[in-house]
Structure 1
Amino acid sequence: MASAQHDTAELSARLSEHMNGYLYTASLYTVTRANVADKLAEGPLTPMQLGESTGLNGPHLRRLMRYLATREVFREDAEGRFHLTPMAELLREGVPGSLRDSFLMMGEDLYWKPIAKLHETVRSGHTAFDDIFGAQFFPYLQSQPELASLFNRGAAGFSRLWAQSVADTYPFPVGSKVVDVGGGTGGLLRAVLAANPTVTGVLYDQESVIPEHQLDTPELEGRWSAQAGDFFQTVPQGADYYLLKSVLHDWSDEDCLRILKAVRSGMRKGSKLLVVDPVIPPGNEPDASKTIDVMMMVVHDGKERTQGEFTDILAKGGFKVARVLPTDSLMSIVEAEVA
């Protein structure tokens, strides 16, 4: 009996920690918004010193950072000063692998409010985003330029985590032309072109996104162009490869079929489609794709997909899967041909 009570107590403690998980996200957003990690870049500081330089209340900030230190974000020493940790380093602006803009993006009402209505999404089978903001996610962003710019930067931060892995994994033939459909600020296309000096590319996205591209570097000069358009309607014609990176997961099956139809109409004989998304593995083991899947459900009415679900949706869109290439990141490459 004592052992059973001990097990129940331990499980209760673990479950209670899960219950408070949203505090972790809010805490990370708070210190990121205040640039705490950047303030610590030159050395450890006390919470009072940090409070003076960030405008935050020192005693409250100490409690917040003490909590984050339990997750290896910051470290408190015996003198009560806080230090950067390797994890906290990634909250700094402009460092390799920085997720600063991604955390700022995820801390906006854009995500918080729909997440708070998760129960309604699961009840109705549709995101509550439209009811909260009066429009779907991407049309709403078009009406909010500053928020849209933050989203573009935040999405680019996530993209940097896997763009190089994707570029290094897929063997693009010499002289091929690639269209990055819905390519955002062009992080993946930049990695592909840098890894393949004979390949040329087109960045294709909404007109409001194109000006924030990352392609204007000397090593890529003369090998890329940018084109604005609506991937529900049309795509640039006649390329060798069409990339859909983190696109299909934003949309329902019905909307994905509209995108696939547009891409298929732009392809020539021999063209290939490369879908770059997580592929959900079977089983109960933790996997980031399962977390992102719920986020897509909450905010977009989108979804991550299993290999079988990719095969099915691509077949309905007029494609056949040739192979699935895992990378050393979260992403896989689903290579498809016109059926």
Structure 2
Amino acid sequence: MGDPAELVGDLIFGRWRSQILHAGTRLGIFDALGDARRDAAAVAGELSLDPALTYRLMRALSAIGLLDEDGARSFAVTDAGRLLQSDHPESMRGMTLLEEGPEHYAIWTHLPDMIRDGRQNAFDREFGRHAFEHANTDEGYAQVFDAAMSSYSGLQTSLVLEALKDYDFSGVGSICDIGGGRGHMLCSIVAAHGHLKGMVLERPEVLDEPEKLWAASLGVADRVEFVPGDMFEAAPAADAYCMKMILHDWDDDECVSILQNAAAQAASGARLMVMEHVVPGPGEPHFAKLFDIHMMCWGTGRERTAEEYMAIMDRAGWEPVTTHYAANPMMGVVEGRLR
């Protein structure tokens, strides 16, 4: 594992790296550089920043591998830095602005107190409301949150599609994505299976900008319907249901309610696919074990093991089947069928 002091030092000062990353992204340095090599003073002038302090920030961004500095104080974006540009097809800019932004930075300060008193949801402690309610009242947070969800979606969808590449959809005519946002994942599944018709159930406010929905750009506008609604009230009838990064937002009873609403409308023998960062066994390092602490801060939810997701399915009337993984087990698809 290496030198223990070096390990602890890296953990202590890891916040410096992530905040340097956030500052460079928020100030627009990666976009300003584009594909060119530019002098730090020129970048500062374009962005109305202080030249001396901009150089020091860009030097630090170079030190963590996001920029490349030459001897004349000019910089170019590295391959890693390109992922922070807003026009990159796999951009992580939105993810950076959300996770290292002021709201999510603030909620982590409540972690020790939550552990002491056994009451999670630091968003409520800090802002007096749930994160979704905060997004409805704070336009800036809503925009950053929306962009971050798009950042996450590309990677998550690719892992889900790989995990399901050999899955037999031949008995499925219609599939509903519960809480499917603007439809990136559902439309990608429908595009890969020419016989499928899809529905995306999402809150009306998420669907109020039709130009941002994915169906047209992925070539499936004739086979995908966007349904405004509330997953805690009802779900459309379908042969299969999928949920990507939905159940981890909620506690067990809330998850059971969501799944019961789907079961009430599901066709006989309907299938269920819960797509999450599945927590592996003891001693195995995994992103889900860290993400679980973020969810403790962010709301009422949690990351779960496959067995825990299956127990929730069982309570809601679904028979657990198996879990599918891509080569990279960062995400899993926990499958169930209607009893």
TM-score when normalising by structure 2? 0.91
- The letter of the residue matching 1:164 is S
Is structure 2 residue 181 aligned with structure 1 residue 195?
A: no
Tell me if structure 1 keeps the 8 A contact 2:188–2:218.
no
Distance 1:175 1:267, change over 3 A: closer
**In structure 2, the residue corresponding to 1:201 is in which secondary structure?**
strand
C-alpha separation in 2, matches of 1:63 and 1:118: 32
Is residue 120–residue 128 contact of structure 1 (8 Å, CA) maintained in 2? no
Distance 2:156 2:56 in 1: 34
Partner residue in 1 for 2:232: 232
Cα distance, 1:175 vs structure 2: 6.2
Write the mapping of 1:73-112 to structure 2, written as runs, cut at 5 A. Answer: 73-112=66-105
Q: Which runs of 5+ in 1 are unaligned?
A: 1-6
Aligned residues of 2:62 and 2:69 also touching (Cα < 8 A): yes
* Deviates most, 73-82 or 83-92: 73-82
Question: Which residue of 2 is the match for residue 4 of structure 1?
Answer: none
Report which stretch shifted further, 184-193 or 242-251.
Answer: 184-193
**What is residue 12 of structure 1 aligned with on the other side?**
5
Does 2:275 correspond to 1:298? no
Question: 2:144, 2:170 → 1: CA distance?
Answer: 35
Letter in 2 for 1:56: L
Match of residue 111 from structure 2 = 118
Pairing of 1:175-254 with structure 2 (within 5 A): 176-211=173-208, 212-217=212-217, 219-237=219-237, 239-254=238-253
| Structure 2 Cα separation of the partners of residues 124 and 314 of structure 1 | 29
1: CA distance, partners of 2:300 / 2:191:
34
RMSD over aligned CA atoms reads 2.0
Matches within 5 A, 1:19-30: 19-30=12-23
Shift of 1:130: 0.9
Q: 1:175 to 1:222 in 2, by over 3 A?
A: farther
Q: In structure 2, the residue corresponding to 1:56 is in which secondary structure?
A: coil
- Change in 2 beyond 3 A, CA 1:59/1:12: farther
1:161-172 counterparts in 2 under 5 A? 161-170=155-164, 171=167, 172=169
Aligned to 1:263: 262
Distance 2:63 2:284 in 1: 24
Unpaired segments ≥5 residues, structure 2: none
Match of 1:336 in 2: 336
- Distance across 2 between alignment mates of 1:88 and 1:100: 10
Partner of 1:3: none
Aligned CA distance change for structure 1 residues 86 and 42 (closer, same or farther; 3 Å): closer
**Equivalent position SS for 2:204:** coil
Does the C-alpha gap of structure 1 residues 285 and 79 become closer, same or farther in structure 2, counting only changes over 3 Å? Answer: farther
Question: 1:164·1:191 contact (CA, 8 Å) conserved in 2?
Answer: no
Question: May I ask how many residue pairs the two structures share in their alignment?
Answer: 330
Secondary structure at the aligned position of 2:147 is classed as helix
CA distance in 1, matches of 2:123, 2:221: 40
Identity over aligned pairs, percent:
26
Whether the 8 Å contact between 1:185 and 1:210 is mirrored in structure 2 is yes
My pick for the range that moved more, 41-50 or 181-190, is 41-50
Confirm or deny that 1:69 pairs with 2:62: yes
Native 8 Å contact 1:319 1:337 kept in 2: yes
